């Protein structure tokens, strides 16, 4: 299957423009032969909103999962159906007076939702955190989703891998990653480093879509089960980053050597977390 990551600029607080741009990205991916496209985090709203009130106005309700209420989600569902493509995209969600930084998994006759579990900085003042790490069993493969800062937590990626994820999709709005200039790893951002690490440690595929402009770092990527980078975006350009992946590798190649296994060599008895919350 061909996986694409749509790297483009998002307009904070401008849902109409963002809807148009996201649908255009979906259609571009379909024309490029992609079976699945990942869009950035908060693709309907952007993340720099002027107030909680404006966030509540822009946020979309999921409602009936067969027919989402929000205009962006409905547009993604139409585009997915018409182009025969799966879409994984970040969106600002509203449930009552609560806000969530969520991601949708959309396909023909398929809708799933993930809510960001690990909230970054002032997101803690605006959003509620998710409480689940679901696996979305689609006709293409088993998909796990993390949103941006979620990817900084190896426990989350490992949990999804152990639950059967073949492909880890990461919608992101990653800005400067605060690594000192003289210690940077060439073109790799910390988001890329985490994507490579998750792929290698869990022997699954990773597709990460980051936005560009306004200080965001771009460099979207598709990573194979060894941690090898199959496709890599620039730091500044709007582009479609895509690659062919072979899902069976994520299911059959958990062995690193004859006697080494990505999951079989785990030793959970020594992993007890002394800081676990009661």
The residue with tokens 């741009």 is 21
User: Rounded distance, CA 37 to CA 96, Å?
Assistant: 29
**Polymer length of the chain:** 278
Q: Which residues contact 173 (CB under 8 A, 6 or more apart)?
A: 10, 40, 41, 42, 46, 47, 90, 148, 210, 211, 216
Query: What is the pLDDT tens value at each position of the chain, 278 positions in all?
Result: 999 999 999 999 999 999 999 999 999 999 999 999 999 999 999 998 888 999 999 999 998 766 788 999 999 999 999 999 999 999 999 999 999 999 999 999 999 999 999 999 999 999 999 999 999 999 999 999 999 999 999 999 999 999 999 999 999 999 877 778 778 778 889 999 999 999 999 999 999 999 999 999 999 999 999 999 999 999 999 999 999 999 999 999 999 899 999 999 999 889 877 666 54
Beta strand pairing status for 260-261 and 98-107? unpaired
The residue with tokens 């998994």 is 105
Tokens matching residue 177: 């990653």
User: Rounded distance, CA 239 to CA 148, Å?
Assistant: 19
State pTM to two decimals: 0.96
Please say whether the structural domain 2-265 has been given the CATH code 3.60.110.10.
yes
Q: What residue spans define the domains of the chain?
A: 2-265
User: Rounded distance, CA 17 to CA 259, Å?
Assistant: 53
- Residues labelled catalytic: 41, 116, 148
């Amino acid at each position: 299957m061909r996986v694409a990551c749509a790297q483009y600029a998002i307009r904070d607080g401008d849902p109409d423009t963002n809807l148009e741009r996201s649908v255009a990205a979906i259609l571009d991916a379909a024309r490029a032969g992609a079976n699945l496209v990942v869009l950035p985090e908060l693709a309907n709203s952007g993340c720099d909103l002027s107030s909680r009130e404006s966030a509540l106005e822009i946020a979309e309700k999921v409602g009936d999962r067969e027919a989402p209420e929000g205009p962006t989600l409905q547009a993604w569902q139409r585009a997915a159906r018409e182009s025969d493509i799966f879409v994984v995209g970040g969106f600002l969600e509203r449930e009552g007076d609560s806000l969530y930084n969520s991601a949708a998994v959309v396909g023909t006759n398929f809708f799933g939702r993930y809510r960001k579990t690990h909230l970054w900085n002032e997101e803690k003042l605006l959003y509620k955190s998710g409480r689940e790490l679901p696996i979305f069993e689609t006709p293409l493969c088993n998909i796990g989703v993390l949103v941006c800062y979620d990817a900084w937590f190896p426990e989350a990626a490992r949990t999804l891998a152990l639950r059967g994820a073949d492909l880890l999709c990461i919608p992101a709005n990653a800005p400067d990653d605060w690594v000192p200039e003289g210690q940077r790893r060439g073109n790799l951002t910390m988001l890329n480093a985490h994507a490579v690490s998750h792929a290698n440690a869990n022997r699954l595929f990773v597709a990460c879509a980051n936005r560009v402009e306004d200080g965001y770092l771009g460099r979207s990527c598709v990573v194979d089960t060894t941690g090898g980078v199959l496709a890599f975006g620039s730091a500044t350009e709007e582009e479609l980053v895509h690659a062919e992946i072979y899902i069976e590798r994520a299911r059959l190649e958990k062995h690193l050597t004859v006697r080494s296994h990505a999951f079989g060599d785990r030793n959970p008895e020594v992993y007890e977390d002394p800081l676990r919350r009661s």
